[in-house]
Amino acid sequence: MKKALEGLKVVDLTTALNGPFCTMILADYGADVIKIEPVEGEQCRSWGPLDEKSGESGFYNYVNRNKKGGTLNLKSEKGLEMFYELVKDADVLVENFRGGITKKLKIDYETIKKLNPNIIYASGSGFGQYGPITHRPCYDIVAQAMGGMINLTGFKETNPVKVGPSVADHVAGIYLALGVMIALYNRKVTGLGQQVDVAMFDTIFSLLENALVNYTIGGFIPERNGNVDPSISPFDVYDCKDGFVALGVGNDRLFQKFCVTIGHPELIEDPRYTSNELRCNNYIPDLQNLIRGWCSEYTKSEIETIMDEAGIPCGPVLNVKEAIEHPHIKEREMMVHCQHPTAGDQYFQGCVIKLSETPGEVEAPSPLLGQHNADIFGLSDEEIKKLKAEGVI
């Protein structure tokens, strides 16, 4: 079956997470992604968990599946020459160096554009390609902090808390992949290549949604509020007999159904709760405590069943094992197996975007370091030996 991005040549210079996540998405849907690493390998090859027998990183293997792997010393004259040849017929180049580094390495957009005017040059970084702090290094925790997310996460009585997964990296990777697709469509229409610039700082800032308008329109600076949503009520996480459940009662109609479902129809006419705005203002403590008391009488499964039958958004708080084993995750193939040449069976996330005619697929494991050098650069065994001895690959 033909893949959606089959025939698209992508040169991947990225390391860590935001860039590799972008190119993983492209590779999952059929792009020919050629990952070029430093001779010593990129940094996340050492990030845990590591396979006991092979020492391979599960993290690296997840975000670099479906890619070919090569190595180049871009600081060497020969390595740079080989890289230039590689990108001359590429459709896309993806890099995630911090601002200013590509110019020092002589692989910046202006340089590459002279070799390949039609190329889509995608740059994912902490702070973007321009601005007063473009030069700074960045990891997810820094972007979450500066973008305003950490200050909004946690409870009033606690210190600020980082969101668990690396949302800045992941969403920046998604934005970068989307930017590549937008630029490719524009190139199809106009024939013009261009640079795509996505910053993790911008990404987190873009995710603050109602926190921004609460300040710009509401006139107040939002603070940490635990699981309570400042704009919708009731919208919270509640204790139950065997864990926690999340409930989202997003409008007046749902609230009326919810009141009947929990056996308190009198709340419908309570003047404190007749509109969403009033419920937000009066949720704590009475309404919150009433719902807490009701939930404490049931298990997660019981509440989920009750709310599902009533058509009220609800879900149990699952741990990772429970989420992996959820029948919906299994049926939608959100966990897949892949055989790695040294680490053996790998079990990790599947493809999120479901396409009816050209679905994404995890077909190949992540590459061993320099595994495809001969294929990528068209090298003979003797040439490989010579370039290795010279420190080029």
Rounded Cα gap, residues 18 and 43, in angstroms: 13
Rounded Cα gap, residues 272 and 373, in angstroms: 69
Q: Which one is catalytic: 32, 91, 140, 169?
A: 169
Task: Characterize the bridge pairing of strands 92-95 and 120-125.
Answer: parallel
Any residues with CB less than 8 A from the CB of 377 and at least 6 apart, and which?
Answer: 70, 82, 85, 86, 393
Rounded Cα gap, residues 241 and 299, in angstroms: 5
Distances (CA, A) of 259 to 41, 228, 234, 265, 288: 58, 18, 11, 5, 13
From 196, 96, 93, 195, select the one nearest 140 (Cα to Cα): 96
Rounded Cα gap, residues 192 and 183, in angstroms: 9
270 is catalytic: no
Q: For residues 273-300, b (16+ Cβ closer than 10 Å) or e, as one string? A: beebeebbebbeeebbeebeebbeebeb
Q: For residues 78-100, b (16+ Cβ closer than 10 Å) or e, as one string? A: ebbebbbebbeebbbbbbbbbbe
Helix 167-190 vs helix 18-28: crossing angle, to nearest 10 = 50
In contact, 265 and 257? CB cutoff 8 Å: no
| Tokens of residue 319, six digits | 């741990």
Cross-strand pairs, 240: 243
**Given its phi and psi angles, is residue 128 left (phi above 0), alpha (psi -120 to 50 degrees) or beta?**
left
From 38, 129, 36, 32, select the one nearest 89 (Cα to Cα): 32
What DSSP assignment string belongs to 201-240?
HHHHHHT-THHHHHHHTT-S-----TT--SSSSSEEEEEE
Cα angle value 234/282/220 (rounded, 5°): 95
DSSP for residue 149: S
Q: Which residues are catalytic?
A: 169
